[in-house]
Homo-oligomer: A and B are copies of this chain.
Amino acid sequence: MLSKKTKYGLKALAYLASKKDRQPVQIAEIAKHENISQKFLESILLSLRKTGLLGSKKGKGGGYYLIKKPSEVLMTDVMRILEGPIAMVPCVSLNFYEKCDDCPDEGACSVHKLMLQVRDSALEVYRNNTLKDLIS
């Protein structure tokens, strides 16, 4: 299940991308427009800024803004930042690999093989989608 964090984060990014200019947008404006708890959104935008997707400007007239062009923001990056691993099990994760403690042999694991396919199919979707695709 997609977490609210990811859902809200995607909506916020899409909202920012829909703006023609790249002027800072206040948290309050995004929260109101997308029906999101402002405080919760605050923490989400913060993590997007820390990972380099967003920039922020403080003080009067401040807010958050996209650093890159919408067409340059890949969904793979966005999803990994917001949701974490794209794979459904750590043992097939490219960026968050971990061995299963209960599985003696990955090569022989039936779950492993299936989840590899699921991961690849999801990756393909995310690789073929940028922020620009989301708003058009």
Contacts and interface: CB of A to CB of B under 8 A. Distances in A.
A122 B118 contact: yes
A87 to B, nearest CB: 9
Contacts of A1: 85, 88-89
Contact of A2 (B10, B104, B115, B129): B115
A111 interface: yes
Q: How many copies does the complex hold?
A: 2
Contacts of A85: 1
Contacts of A7: 89, 111
A14 B89 contact: no
A94 interface: no
A25 interface: no
A10 B114 contact: yes
A45 to B, nearest CB: 16
